[in-house]
A and B are shown apart, each in its own frame.
Chain A
Amino acid sequence: MKRSAIEPSGVPGKAAESGPLLRGREITQRWGGLIAVNQVSLEIARGSVHAVIGTNGAGKSTLVNILSGELAPTSGRVELMGQDVTGWSQPRRARAGLGRSYQRNTIYSSFSVLENCRLAAQARMPKPWAWWQDAQGCTHSTAAAHEAAERAGLAEVLDSKAGLLSHGQKRQLEIAMCLATAPQVLLLDEPLAGMGAEETERMLALLVDLKARHGILLVEHDMDAVFRVADCITVMVNGSVIASGTPDFVRQSPEVQVAYLGEQALEQI
């Protein structure tokens, strides 16, 4: 059977490891007197979706930026497949298997959908800086791009200019670009942002499909969606974790109820 161009490959020994794909240990981010993230620990295992929810300003985006490598934490560690990557730059982590999508679109609007994915896939090729061959004739990255786009449901629009896609399609492309780099772990920052009902269904189906082969960290505001796909939920308020566990556990947790219902009760006044 032909091996997928974007199948997350790994050193055979690593694939057999039992630990989580991504682990954050007591991550803290302090800006002067303000503590944006307070001793947060979490784990993401292959085959699962770990959702992080919380009110605005709870520190979720900061946490994701620390995990992805865009921000250096004040203290704490980030481990990717058992390796301490806290000092690694974002590109280095990406090449090691940590993919990320953004809340706002970071697609290349002037390129075609296929080129978006191809360029993303190019990063992992042996000589991404090669200057003599025609890039678009490159079979490996093009194959990876096709696969990623198809898995993300964009097979119909491969040649369309990315800037002209619908909002839902752009969010799918955001994920496709992530997939094209053959990641082990996916950090998805509000992939459902701004989506209608039908697009949300499509995206959730994609997430379920993706979780089989990857580990996913999902930051989201859409509670229904979160409770449907997540295997584990961490709730953050003001930078700290107030509850973490299975969806049922979180739903019944008194701290969470106070944090959420307390706000809703205030709103009703």
Chain B
Amino acid sequence: MSLTTFLIQCLNSLQYGLLLFLVASGLTLIFGIMGVINLAHGSFYMIGAYMAFALSPIVATTLGGGFFSVLMVGVVLAILLGYALEWIFYSYLYEREHLQQVLMTYGLILVFEELRSLLVGDDVHGVQAPEILSGTLPLGDLMTYPVYRIFISAVCMVLALGMYLVFTRTRLGMMIRAGSANREMVQSLGIDIQFLYRVVFAAGVALAAFAGMVAAPVSSVYPGMGGSVLIICFVVVVIGGIGSIRGALLAALLIGFVDTFGKVLLPQAAGVLVYVLMAVILLWKPDGLFKAG
């Protein structure tokens, strides 16, 4: 493998890993803080991707905007969706056993899939990257690298940094970290736990949907995408440790590299490598690389 190819694959790994992190961080937060295992999390990613496809004509005609307007509208919609969902559905799941949560959110996946099928259909779609970002950067003498992919990595890093700042510097972040470590304690301290949960949930949904929207130009928009991303996110959370954002980042990057280089070096086994990685880590650290924190 030439140096340039290696560099390209590294950039691809970074991009994939960071995207995964965005989705997985929502999943691990929702579980760490609310104690809810949410199988429908992949559906939010799918919803984001389909929004990127379906909203662009609408936004173009009503607001006159392009890709970035669609992103903003999409995020706002996702936050509203998350808020509403937490209120009418997820708030009933907090005290239930994991098995019930698993099945109820599984039912929700089916509902989301069919609603999407009814509203937008089952076709596979592509989404165009915006004009300013659709160029390429030269890499070495012969290769080039798409600007848009660099944009994805950059945006994810900015969001990751933003999350870090919120968690460590703001009161909200403090409450979230406390809630993640000890739910009952936070409640007894008089913090409005209802509001906290709703905010966290909406943020989780928004992160996943945003990841879906931003990824849409590079990966196609297709019906089963929610399920695939969900299971990989589970692997991220298992490797990284439940409730740990740091762990999710490390695990997501690890998976990004293993998967990307795996596809190049061992195409036959590509789909399986990630699970082999998980198996190896389980042998060594059954609770994940980091505990909650």
A and B touch in the complex (CB under 8 A): no
Residues on A facing B (Cβ under 8 Å): none
